[in-house]
Structure 1
Amino acid sequence: MRENKQKSLMRIIKRNRFVFITFVVIIAIIAITSLIHEWLHMNSYMKNRETFRVINDVIAGRREFNSILPYMKEYGFDYRSYEELLDVYKNNEILTEICKFAEFVRKSEENDFKESYKILTFSMIFIVFGLSIGMLFSHRNYKLVKCYIKDSKERFNELADNIYVAKLNEANVVRYSEDEDIQRAVYKINLVHDILESLKHVPMTASIEDFISETGSALCRYFDSERFSVALIDHEESKIVAETAYFTDKRIQIKLGPGFSQKFSETSLGKMITERTNWRIINDFEEFYSYTKSKSMKLLLEEGFKSNLTVLASINTVPFGFFFLTSSRPNNFTEDDAKLFFSVSDILSHRLYYTLNLQKALSEFAHSLTDLVEFKDNETGNHIKRVSLYTKLIASNMNLPPKLIRILYDFAPLHDIGKVGIPDSILLKPGRLDSDEWKIMQTHVGIGMHIIDRLAENTNGIIDAETINSMRNIVQDHHERWDGKGYPNGKRGEEISIEGRILAIADVFDALTTRRPYKESIPFDVAVDMIVKEKGRHFDPAVVNAFTNCLEEIRSVYEMLKD
């Protein structure tokens, strides 16, 4: 009877896992479909941007009036009256006709924007709904596994009692041997149960850094380890990339940090992937390094570690990463440890996979929101990429926490999201803004804050408080100045968040080196000098120092993504 119950539980567990994977696939398909839709509209978007640039140039006198004719024909605009005005050269009426054409193009663009917004909104609603359902099934699966283990534990206890009764007349050595086996089996089941109980209290998260920290705390305690870490597999580039690590001793100087990567051919982990090896034990790092010269092993030795246990992370037998437990003592791990770690790796893999997908979905959503600004503004997508990369380089040079560096990179594109609420007549104005227009432009910060607050309310806690707070800082503080003369709140010095201080330099530097309708671009070295001169006035001196420390990497990004 109990055996049938366990078989039934396993069938339900497998069915729930299949449903969970199906939801993940559906969410991925919807996300990909949304991206394809945006790509299909990109040609129209780029054509609109080019048309607005030509209109601005004609109005500013940088192009001839007749240079706009091909665009009128392409859009199906009634260009004959415009040709007649050109023949008689009535300047005011020509400008009026150009404005009509600009309004025609704007409405065309607005229709495209509304269609994209509807699709984006539907996709996000379905993604959030799908993730919620996925969490429900994941939690239900956890409870079923717990029930399965509890039932197995009861069976073992019954078996132990029966053996003592049935074997009373047998030799003592046999009784002792079986007793030892049963005790070991019961101990393992109890340990798995305890580990799963600990993992039960680890919150579902949208941050891989939080996943590693919360999970690592429990696993290091049960496996007598000092380091827990994760690495992800990049199948496209055939490499393995390290993520952040959890240390029981916070004083350890990190050598093998997030971003460290090796090709499959450069590490023995590549063999684990190709051969689908479930686990691997290295109990003497020094000996292993002596004949492999592994770069990662050298870094771990420099951190003070001597042995580790590695388990493959996979979903439906497809590997996507690794879990590592590492110790400062040699010969710290046994085959029993490996089997035990592997027995809980399925739950760890599903939790990590959920975290990575949610993290990616939120990042893609942030970039999709940024597209709304691009539809209105003349700035290109490369502006967004450059600012994100400049921000990441500066933050990394300042040795900020890995989670904050990733948040800055993922959500820096949101810094000007409030511009969606600024009228086109101001946002696209080719000349300088007057005082009234400038006041309206400054309201984009408040609009952006409202968008972030609504996002926090509508995601029902899926985005953690730390990430939401950093998103607010990015939007609210990137126009503040170190000397207190910025806007919207006139913050001064360290009253300004570190996110705002870093974004301020990244955004201003990119604005200086990029051509805009009302100005030409400034050479790279001249822009650097201008940033340095504002040290202690516009910008935080420490952030300026970090900026100048990574100028070579900044220049590489600038050259690679130049408009």
Structure 2
Amino acid sequence: MHMDTGKTAEKGSISIRTITDRLFFLLIVTILITLITVILFTSWIYYISSIENQYNSSITAINSLISSLYTAQQQQDSDEIDQNYKQIMDIIRDSPEILKRDLSPHDEILNNTDPETQYDLYLDQIRISIGILRKNHSQIQNVYKKGFPYFVVSILFLMVVMLLNLLKWKERQNQFFNEIQDGLQHVREVQLFNRNESFHNNHSYIEESQAFISEVSKILENLIMDRSLQNIEIHGNLEALMKELFFAIRKKTNCDRVALAFINGDNEITAETFYSNYSNLYLAPGHSEPMKNTSLGEYTHSGELRYIPDLEEYSDKKLEKTGFPVSESTRLILKEGIKSSLTIPFFVNDRCVGFLFISSRSKNSFDGISIKHAKHIFTIIKSRIYLEYIIQDIIARISQSFVTLMDKKDNETSSHIKRVSHYSAIIGRAVARKSDVLTPKDIREIYSYAPLHDIGKIGIPDSILLKPGSLTKDQFEIMNTHVTIGEEVIEAISQNISSYFPIPVLATAIDIIRGHHEKYDGSGYPRGLKGKEIPIAGRIVAIADVFDALTSKRPYKEAYSIEESLEIMTKKMTGHFDSDLLESFKDSIEDVKMIYEKYQEN
């Protein structure tokens, strides 16, 4: 009887938790779909706005030239008629491609034709061309006008679904804890009543009841802890989360250190953050090494946790068995005095993205019960880590989508984008080895958002962006506006995201866009920032971008060697770069060469 009841209760509890997990997953999916919808539509609006601005300026200029053309016709000036016609057709040819569909303007100059006939023929061609521009412009406006209400309705619908999911999820979560807590409290009251009733009759029953009440108290304590862990608000701060996690695990195990590490796109594992009750630190955040140099690879597939009861013995046996020492991270953790270690992999969409390390300065610190407790606590809190990771990952993927979009519009290749990202990360890691200016999260964001440095070029006319020759002064001024355009695009996206999450996920991206054309001596653009006024992310990407431009072949130049490029940046571009960052880049020349060779142009 009792066993059947227990099974029924367990089954009901699992059902509630399953529903809660599904609701949480649905909530995350809804949020991500909403974010992607907002981001894509924001980009579309900026694209339409740039076309609108170019169209209006073109029509204004054409109208002015038509007046000049009419004046030339009145004066019977054939040369002036030809010149005005050529200028008008140049403006039409420089219009955005989407406005020039079905347009094949004739721009031949009519010789030996009287000015009146010449004027009429030119005017007919201009009217046809402008008519096509106006027709295509009207079609774009109609698409925008029809699409905007659908977008608004879609966003409102997604927000309503998201709100309902959030409320339902919290309701189920509270229901789960309240039902169990109320039930256990009721059992406790019944046992206390029975103890008082039989105090003089059955001492063994009293002892049994006290033991049961003790177990109930432990369960209640665990439930309260579980609930407090689920209510942690990290706001993008994994360091604060590690502190909460450490003390929660410390109550159940003899741990002295908890740490989190992520696996990056190059299959390297990087120490992200940690919390410990001692200060002699050797394995610091930012330490990175290839997964192949560690023994963690098999756990990325199996998903099983790893327990090493005696780390020193494990190290000696590995050296004896394989002839190779343990990984550098294991050597450093041994130097901190760690004797035993528990490693828990965690997954996103069936892909291992990192590990939680729970370590102790005593041997054999974790038994079956403590391991079970640690795994249970991590299971509860990992959704917070997932959320942080997923937000960063989705923004990184969106940045790659922007890069794909720019690849269709600009001459810069995907290989250039990859090299700039990797070079930037190399500089970031070199800086982190010398000081604590950059955290692992900063380096990861610089790597992820470096591809966005020229995203503002989406608003630059194709006639300027794709011009094979040198630009005029006016065209240079237009080209330079890509920085402020990029800032506006990313800031708009950031504001939309901040309405859902109080996490500044795009702050580093804005710093990169804002600062990558500034120069250390203040001679850059758009604001003429100087020295440390330029965000460090912008200073880093500026070095990576210029270095890759120098070492890459262009239609107007051959590629310089790595050594020649560094010499140019050091001696011929004095004042352009932060000298400390440039030295860090030069100190990492072997890593730079590896990236240069790996991502050569096809």
TM-score after normalising by structure 1: 0.72
Are 1:430 and 2:478 counterparts? no
> CA 1:539/1:384 → structure 2, altered by over 3 Å: closer, same or farther?
same
> Which residues of 2 match residues 415-426 of structure 1 at below 5 A?
415-426=453-464
Task: State which of 212, 215, 218 in structure 1 corresponds to 2:241.
Answer: 215
- Identity rate of aligned residues, in percent? 28
Question: Which residue in 2 is equivalent to 1:150?
Answer: 181
Give SS of 1:244's match: strand
Are 1:200 and 2:231 counterparts? yes
Alpha-carbon distance in 2 for matches of 1:126, 1:440: 37
Task: State which of 421, 425, 438 in structure 2 corresponds to 1:392.
Answer: 425
Question: Which residue in 1 is equivalent to 2:405?
Answer: 372
Letter of the 1:285 counterpart: L
Deviation at 1:189, TM superposition (A): 2.9
Deviation at 1:503, TM superposition (A): 0.9
Deviation at 1:419, TM superposition (A): 0.9
Deviation at 1:515, TM superposition (A): 2.6
Question: Which residue in 2 is equivalent to 1:541?
Answer: 579
Question: Which residue in 1 is equivalent to 2:447?
Answer: 409
Are 1:229 and 2:267 counterparts? no
Give SS of 1:459's match: helix
Are 1:285 and 2:311 counterparts? yes
Give SS of 1:229's match: strand
Question: Which residue in 2 is equivalent to 1:270?
Answer: 298
Deviation at 1:371, TM superposition (A): 2.8
Letter of the 1:202 counterpart: E
> Which residues of 2 match residues 46-195 of structure 1 at below 5 A?
139-162=170-193, 164-165=195-196, 168-169=199-200, 175-176=206-207, 179-195=210-226
> Which string of whole-angstrom CA distances, capped at 9 and with x for unpartnered residues, describes residues 254-311 of structure 1?
2585544545x9637836964x65x555443223333345435433212332233444
| Alignment check: 8 A CA contact 1:227 1:245 kept | no
Alpha-carbon distance in 1 for matches of 2:209, 2:186: 15
Task: State which of 488, 494, 499 in structure 2 corresponds to 1:450.
Answer: 488
| Alignment check: 8 A CA contact 2:235 2:502 kept | no
Task: State which of 301, 310, 318 in structure 1 corresponds to 2:334.
Answer: 301
Are 1:252 and 2:278 counterparts? no
> CA 1:542/1:163 → structure 2, altered by over 3 Å: closer, same or farther?
farther
| Alignment check: 8 A CA contact 2:242 2:274 kept | yes
> Which string of whole-angstrom CA distances, capped at 9 and with x for unpartnered residues, describes residues 366-405 of structure 1?
1212333222211111111111111011101111210000
| Alignment check: 8 A CA contact 2:234 2:384 kept | no
> Which string of whole-angstrom CA distances, capped at 9 and with x for unpartnered residues, describes residues 523-563 of structure 1?
32211211222575111111111110111111221122222
Alpha-carbon distance in 2 for matches of 1:30, 1:465: 16
> CA 1:500/1:256 → structure 2, altered by over 3 Å: closer, same or farther?
closer
Letter of the 2:281 counterpart: I
Deviation at 1:471, TM superposition (A): 1.6
> CA 1:515/1:200 → structure 2, altered by over 3 Å: closer, same or farther?
same
| Alignment check: 8 A CA contact 1:305 1:329 kept | yes
Give SS of 2:396's match: helix
Letter of the 1:360 counterpart: D
> CA 1:12/1:453 → structure 2, altered by over 3 Å: closer, same or farther?
same
Alpha-carbon distance in 2 for matches of 1:78, 1:455: 35
Alpha-carbon distance in 1 for matches of 2:201, 2:307: 39
How many residues matched? 487
| Alignment check: 8 A CA contact 1:199 1:215 kept | no
| Alignment check: 8 A CA contact 1:386 1:510 kept | yes
Are 1:351 and 2:387 counterparts? no
Alpha-carbon distance in 2 for matches of 1:469, 1:361: 15
Letter of the 2:359 counterpart: T
Deviation at 1:489, TM superposition (A): 1.1
> Which string of whole-angstrom CA distances, capped at 9 and with x for unpartnered residues, describes residues 3-45 of structure 1?
989865653432232344467679999999xxxxxxxxxxxxx
Alpha-carbon distance in 2 for matches of 1:280, 1:227: 16
Alpha-carbon distance in 2 for matches of 1:306, 1:27: 43
| Alignment check: 8 A CA contact 2:30 2:162 kept | no
| Alignment check: 8 A CA contact 1:482 1:536 kept | no
Question: Which residue in 2 is equivalent to 1:90?
Answer: none
> CA 1:473/1:128 → structure 2, altered by over 3 Å: closer, same or farther?
farther
Give SS of 1:228's match: strand
Task: State which of 508, 533, 551 in structure 2 corresponds to 1:513.
Answer: 551
Query: Gaps (5+ residues) in structure 1?
Result: 33-75, 83-99
Question: Which residue in 2 is equivalent to 1:324?
Answer: 357
Alpha-carbon distance in 1 for matches of 2:499, 2:585: 34
Alpha-carbon distance in 1 for matches of 2:308, 2:189: 38
Give SS of 1:546's match: helix
> Which string of whole-angstrom CA distances, capped at 9 and with x for unpartnered residues, describes residues 305-326 of structure 1?
2233444546899977543322
TM-score after normalising by structure 2: 0.68
> Which string of whole-angstrom CA distances, capped at 9 and with x for unpartnered residues, describes residues 333-388 of structure 1?
44433232233333223333333333221111112123332222111111111111
Deviation at 1:216, TM superposition (A): 1.3
> Which string of whole-angstrom CA distances, capped at 9 and with x for unpartnered residues, describes residues 481-517 of structure 1?
1111111111111111111110110111111122333
Alpha-carbon distance in 2 for matches of 1:269, 1:373: 36
